[in-house]
Chains A and B, each alone.
Chain A
Amino acid sequence: MRSLRNTFLVPALLLALASGCAKTKAYQDRNMDFGAIKTVVVMPFWNLSANQQAADRVRDVFANALLATQAVYVVPTGEVARAASRLGLATPATPSTEEVVKIAAMLKADAVITGVVKEYGEVRTSAAASNVVSVSLQMQEAGTGKVIWSGSSTKGGVTWGARLLGTGGGEPMNSVTEQAVDDLLQQLFQ
């Protein structure tokens, strides 16, 4: 009986502990040579937040941060808009696999990044308020449209300290966005 308890209880506790510690879940295709990716298209992000400009803001910060790494070249947003218009993409934020392949070929890119902004703005508890951003991204390979990387990040929110002391404000929205973008880039380049 005692050995049976140890057999099930200890792994269950360890699993619970590990899942509690894990903040983000990223997927990376181990067979993909990420060093071969030189040019990337960042598509408009899908906006699920209440703020109408959230997707554009996060995309702007992400594209610039990706360029700033000097690891890849990001196609300018105007060029992406023109290509999406020429291809007649009804929903550029959620392209199909064929559309990803086509737009990558048109822009001579090696990969296409699509994303979803799930939360963007202020969250409130009874006594405290703070800014929060939640973003999920995925990268698709240009030739096949296969997903080769996927990651998500949530930053900001009301901390325990703020909850206890009832403070408001937190960090500015742009700082929180940059933190989330940094987290995503870390997942991408790890």
Chain B
Amino acid sequence: MTSSSSSSSSARAIALVGALALAGCSAARPPPERAAPPRMALFPVQNLTGGRAPVKELTAALRAQLLTYGVVLVPDELVMRTLAAHRIRFTGGVDRETAAALREEAGAEGVIIPSLEIYQAVPPFRMAMTTRLVNIGAEPAIQWIDSFARSGVDSPGLLAMVVLQSMETLRDESLLNTAVRLAAALQDPRPSRPCPQWSEVPPNRVYRSPLLSDPSRRTVAVLPFLNGSGRRDAGEVMALRFLAPLVANGTVKVVEPGVVRDELLTHRIGAAGGISLDDARVVLELVRADLVLSGTVRRFEDAAGLSGAPSLEFGSWVLDRRTAQLVWSSTTSGAGDDGVYFFGLGRVTTASALACGMAKGAVSRMLEDRPLLTRN
């Protein structure tokens, strides 16, 4: 009894001394200074659905979710006033002029650009969106990009009990996920995976030059794909879907599409029938890129009804500035129900999700043996 009480009292004393020592240490150490969170400008949702979509409501819903998760946003009025003062209408990208205006007049450090690809408000509900965060330093640069493509029947569950019953549920869940991921990326920048590994679709035919393995060719400009499908804006959607795996791959630096678009418009490049090598070289010089990626979308069809499957067909190519030659060419085609045999397992329900898997497959093959970029 005595021994136990003495041992317990000595243990208490040691613990007290230890606690005091720790408290003293912590008191001596200055409190960690937390950098002020960066101020972001949220652009209105860009409508690439090929039809009508409630972009104002979606922008407001996304803004609310981002604010909930602690993302500091520049007031909407200030962003709109700045854009109006500079007569900037295009909000699907950031060029140098827009970046400077937002930086100096609105005090923004980055721009959040949401692009809506699919919005189907009737059952089975579908929604797809790509959101990217562009750092507007001296040169606009993609800091983070993420996308989702969902439908109400993605996970129907047993006896279809988990089929989503309203568009609002799908919309709110999706925007919530985007806000959570973006807030996490601001705390700890790391590339996010554009779509699940199982959904990756390899290209049907590929030509790949060994020049693509050269680590000194590190900057890629992505041009909008030529649209040979009946679906409006399919070329832009396909280019966006290529952006995410390129950024996530980490072996190349991707030029912000807003900068590329500005140069194309300024120099009136992009005639129908494909970009010539001369044009490509001009673009590459202007945006200081080594490679230019583009292609042609031949088919971009979303699933019809509950049981239908989306189908896609496109070709992509990459031109090299130094040799002025094609270094990559591929064709990819497929449908959302390819390889699906049992109970719809593995079925892809939206064209955007299919495009994501196909783009990811092409990019994986394209950059398969490149070393990771070193930060400098």
Q: Are A77 and B274 in contact (CB under 8 A)?
A: yes
14 residue pairs of the A-B complex, CB under 8 angstroms, read: A56-B228, A57-B313, A60-B298, A61-B315, A64-B205, A64-B315, A74-B329, A78-B274, A78-B275, A79-B276, A82-B276, A172-B311, A172-B335, A178-B205
Across-interface contacts of B313 in A (CB, < 8 A) = 57, 174
The secondary structure that dominates the B interface is: strand
Shortest beta-carbon distance from A149 to chain B in Å: 21
Interface size on B, residues (CB 8 A): 27
Cβ–Cβ contact B273 & A77, under 8 A: yes
| A166 CB–B CB distance under 8 Å | no
Q: Mark B317-339, 1 if CB is under 8 A from A, else 0.
A: 10100000110011101010000
Instruction: Find out whether the CB atom of A64 lies under 8 angstroms from the CB atom of B274.
Output: no
Bound-state CA distance A9–B256 (Å) is 75
Check B325–A73 contact: CB distance below 8 A: yes
Which residue of the partner chain, among A57, A68, A76, contacts B298 with CB atoms under 8 Å?
Answer: A57
Instruction: Determine which residue in A70, A74, A78 has the highest number of CB atoms from chain B within 10 A of its CB, and name it.
Output: A78
Contact of A67 with B204 at beta-carbon distance under 8 Å, contacts A78-B273, A78-B276 already known: no
Complex Cα–Cα for A120 and B142 (A): 42
Q: Are the C-beta atoms of A68 and B206 separated by less than 8 Å?
A: yes
Q: Which of A77-96 contact B (CB under 8 A)?
A: 77-79, 81-82
B206: A residues at CB distance < 8 A: 68
- Known A-B contacts A78-B279, A79-B277; the reply to A60 vs B331 at CB < 8 A is yes
Q: Does A3 belong to the interface (CB within 8 Å)?
A: no
A76-B331 contact, Cβ under 8 Å, with A67-B326, A68-B205: no
Q: Judge whether B315 and A60 touch: CB under 8 Å.
A: yes
A contact residues around B329 at 8 Å (CB): 63-64, 67-68, 74
Query: Which residue of chain A lies nearest to B319 when distances are taken between CB atoms in the complex?
Result: A76
B326 A73 Cβ-Cβ under 8 A: yes
CB distance from B297 to the nearest CB of A (A): 11
Q: How far is the CA of A156 from the CA of B6 in the complex (A)?
A: 94
Given the complex, which residues of A lie within 8 Å of B326, measured CB to CB? Answer: 67, 73-74, 76
**A53 at the A/B interface (Cβ < 8 Å)?**
yes
Instruction: Decide yes or no whether B349 CB sits under 8 A from chain A.
Output: no
Per-residue 0/1 for A43-64: is the Cβ within 8 Å of any B Cβ (1 yes, 0 no)? 0000000000100110011011
Min distance, Cβ B277 to any Cβ of chain A, angstroms: 5
Q: Let me know if B278 is at the binding interface, CB within 8 A.
A: yes
Residue A188, interface by CB 8 Å = no
Chain B CB within 8 A of A65 CB: yes
A133 vs chain B, min Cβ distance (A)? 14
Number of interface residues of A (CB under 8 A): 23
Q: Does chain A have a CB within 8 A of B207?
A: yes
Known: A64-B207, A67-B207, A68-B206. 4 other contacts (CB 8 A): A76-B317, A77-B274, A172-B333, A178-B205
Decide yes or no: A65 and B333 within 8 Å by CB, A77-B274, A78-B277 being known contacts. no
What residue of chain B has the Cβ atom nearest to residue A69's Cβ? B207
- Interface core residue of A61, A64, A65, A74 (most chain B CB under 10 Å): A64
Question: How far is the CB of B145 from the nearest CB of chain A, in Å?
Answer: 27
A residues in contact with B311, CB < 8 Å = 172
CA distance A68 to B279 in the complex (A): 24
By the criterion CB–CB under 8 Å, are B274 and A61 in contact? no
B296 at the binding interface (Cβ < 8 Å): yes
Separation of A172 and B330 alpha carbons in the complex (Å):
18
Q: Most chain-A CB neighbours within 10 Å: which of B204, B278, B279, B280?
A: B204
CB-based contact A53/B298 at 8 Å: yes
Distance, CA A56 to CA B276, complexed state (A): 17
Q: Restricting to B264-310, which residues have a CB under 8 Å from any CB of A?
A: 273-280, 296, 298
Residues in B with CB closer than 8 Å to A61 are 205, 315, 331
Chain A residues with CB under 8 Å of B279's CB are 78
Partner of B296, one of A60, A70, A178: A60
**Considering the chains assembled together, what is the distance between the CA atoms of A57 and B226 in angstroms?**
13
- Shortest distance from the beta carbon of A111 to any chain B beta carbon, whole Å: 17
CA of A60 to CA of B319, assembled, Å: 16
State whether A81 and B325 are in contact (beta carbons under 8 Å apart), knowing that A56-B228, A61-B205, A70-B207 are contacts in the complex.
no
Docked Cα-Cα span, A63 to B313, in Å, equals 15
Chain A residues, Cβ within 8 Å of B331: 60-61, 64-65, 174
